[in-house]
Chain A
Amino acid sequence: MSDQAPKKFAGYLVEFETPHDIMVAATSVRDAGFTRWDTHTPFPVHGLDHAMGLRGTALPWIVMLMGVTGCAVGLGLQWWTNAHNYQFVVSGKPFFSIPATIPVTFELTILFSAIGAFLGMILLNGFPRWHHPVFSSERFRRATQDRFFLSVEAEDPLCEEDKTGEFLRSLGGSHLEKMEV
Chain B
Amino acid sequence: MTTMTLAHLNDTSEDVTQRPPLVLGDNDFASITEKVCSAVEMTRTPKIWWVLFGISSSVMTMLLALIGYLFYTGVGVWGVNNPVGWGFAIVNFVFWVGIGHAGTLISAILYLFRQKWRTGINRFAEAMTIFAVICALVFPGIHVGRVWMVWFLFPIPDQQLWMWPNFRSPLLWDVFAVGTYFTVSLLFWYMGLLPDIATLRDRAKTKLRETVYGVFALGWRSSNRHWSRYERAYLILAALATPLVLSVHSVVSFDFAVSQLPGWHTTIFPPYFVAGAIFSGFAMVVFLAAIARKIYGLQEIITLRHLENMNKIILATGSMVGYAYGMEFFIAWYGGNPYESFAFASRAFGPYWWAYWIMVSCNVICPQLYWFKKIRTSVPAMMVIAFFVNVGMWFERFVITVTSLSADFLPSSWDMYWPTWVDVCTLIGSFGLFFTLFLLFIRWLPMVAMAEVKSIMPQAHAHGHSTGSAAGMAPSKPKIAEVVG
Contact = CB atoms under 8 A, between A and B. Distances in A.
A86 B455 CA distance: 54
B221 A117 contact: no
A155 to B, nearest CB: 15
Given A27-B470, A104-B173, A118 B191 contact: yes
B176 interface: yes
Given A110-B180, A144-B198, A146-B33, A59 B475 contact: no
The binding surface of chain B is classed by DSSP as helix
Contacts of A47: 462-463, 473, 475
Contacts of B219: 127-132
A88 interface: yes
Chain A CB within 10 A, most for which of B166, B195, B466, B473: B473
A135 B244 CA distance: 38
Contact of A48 (B224, B232, B251): B224
Interface stretch (B14-22, B60-68, B235-243, B366-374): B235-243
Interface string B234-257: 001100110110010001001000
Given A38-B224, A118-B237, A104 B176 contact: yes
A125 B225 CA distance: 8
B254 A82 contact: no
Interface residues of B, number: 75
A86 B187 contact: no
Nearest to A70: B180
Contact of B233 (A82, A107, A118): A118
B167 A40 contact: no
Contacts of A23: 462, 469-470, 473
Interface stretch (B157-165, B287-295, B394-402, B404-412): B157-165
Contact of A145 (B180, B202, B224): B202
A38 to B, nearest CB: 5
A172 B163 CA distance: 70
B244 A110 contact: yes
Contact of B218 (A44, A100, A106, A122): A122
Contacts of B187: 114-115, 118
Contacts of A77: 155, 167
Contacts of A78: 167
Given A107-B180, A129-B219, A143 B470 contact: no
Chain B CB within 10 A, most for which of A54, A60, A122: A122
Interface of A: 18-20, 23-24, 26-27, 38-52, 54, 57, 59-60, 63, 77-78, 81-82, 85-86, 88, 90, 93, 97, 100-101, 103-104, 106-108, 110-111, 113-115, 117-118, 120-122, 124-125, 127-132, 134-135, 140-146
The 8 A-B pairs with the shortest beta carbon distances in the complex, nearest first, are A81-B164, A146-B29, A121-B233, A141-B202, A43-B455, A20-B466, A128-B218, A103-B173
